[in-house]
Amino acid sequence: QAQLVESGGGMVKAGGSLSLSCAASGRPFSRYNMAWFRQVPGKEREFLAAVGWSGERIKYDDSVKGRFIISRDNAKSTVDLRLTNLKPADTAVYYCARQREPYGVPSRTPTQFDSWGRGTQVTVSS
């Protein structure tokens, strides 16, 4: 079974930056599209960014485009999310996820992902 472990969350002031990382194990990492989502209590999980299995075909939600950068290292089986110019509205638990089917086009839909990490908390103060 695939395992994903996020790290790098924390508390930061508005305008600050954080780097999140997700370490994957299990299925061959380089075959699968990866994504980052976030969730706040009482709301649905929100798509942030996705990266294709080869490192290309990157997608961002409009709410984070230009502020967040997703990248992956297939040799290390990691996918990172660099968060910049953070706002209090970015406060959430951040999750990485592995898409169910290998290769293909990166999805924005949570139901297309079947492996999830436990999440890492990001808190942005004003």
pLDDT one-digit tens code per residue, 52-88: 999 999 999 999 999 999 999 999 999 999 999 999 9
Cα–Cα nearest to 119, from 17, 40, 15: 40
Average pLDDT over residues 83-95: 98
**Nearest alpha carbon to residue 7 among 44, 18, 99:** 18
Phi, psi values for residue 8, rounded to 5°:
105, -5
pLDDT of residue 1: 64
Please give the structure tokens belonging to residue 46: 């929100």
Asked if 40 and 29 touch (Cβ cutoff 8 Å), the reply is no
Mean pLDDT for the chain overall: 96
Report pLDDT digits (tens) over 9-33.
Answer: 999 999 999 999 999 998 899 999 9
3-state class (DSSP) for residue 63: coil
Within a 10 A sphere around the Cβ of 32, how many other Cβ atoms?
A: 26
